[in-house]
Amino acid sequence: MAANDDQKKVMDLITGLKIAMMSTRSPDGKYRSRPMAIADTEFDGSLYFLTGESSGKVHDLEKDSETVITFADSHKNSYVAMRGQASILHDREVIKQHWTESARPWFPKGTDDPNLALIRVKIEEAEYWDQPNGTVVQVYGYAKAMLTGEPPKVGEHGKVSL
C-alpha cells in the first residue's frame, strides 16, 4: 500500500503497539468492546487478530461486519481510532502466517486448534490524536489556556481514508 503522509502518520502511531480495543455491535444493537492482541506488527491496510471461533465477537461480526479498533499509547500521548470491515478467516495456511506463540495459552494445539480463527479487519478510515510533548509542556499549555481563556493546543489531529 503506497502511503500518503497522513496514512504514514497513522502507521507510525500504531507501530509497536500490541493490544487494541475491538468494538463490535451485538445483535441487539449494543456495542461491545474488548482488548485484543494484534497478530502482526506491520500494518498493511488490514489488522489481524487470532480468536476463538465460538467467541461472542465472531458472532457479532457475522451479523454486522463493521468494527472499530482503537489504540492508546499514554506514554507518547497518541491515540488512534480505526473503522473497517471484518471477515472471519478459517484457512489454516493464512492462520499460520499470523500465528504468534503468545496465543498458545488460549489455543494449546496451536494452529491446529479447531476453535482457532483469524479476524481480518480491512481498515477504511482512521482518526488520530498525537501530542508528543511531555507532561510539563502539557501542564503549561493547560495552565496558559486557563489564564488566557484560549483552548489549549492538543497536538496533531487528523482523519485519514485508507
Beta-bridged to residue 66, according to DSSP, are: 85
Tell me the whole-structure pTM to 2 decimals: 0.81
Residue 19, beta-bridge partner list:
37
17/38 Cα distance (integer angstroms): 8
Domains of the chain by residue range = 5-161
Instruction: Report how far residue 114's alpha carbon sits from residue 15's, in angstroms, rounded to the nearest whole number.
Output: 30
Q: CA dihedral defined by 22, 62, 41, 101, rounded to 10 degrees? A: 100
Residue type, 31: Y
Residues 55, 61 contacting (CB under 8 angstroms): no
Q: 3-class DSSP state for residue 1?
A: coil
Please list the pLDDT of the chain residue by residue as tens digits (162 residues): 446 777 788 888 888 888 999 999 999 999 999 999 998 756 778 999 999 999 999 999 999 999 999 999 988 888 999 999 999 999 999 999 999 999 999 999 999 999 999 999 999 999 998 876 555 445 555 565 566 676 655 566 667 777
> Cell 484457512 identifies what position?
91
Q: Which CATH class is domain 5-161?
A: mainly beta
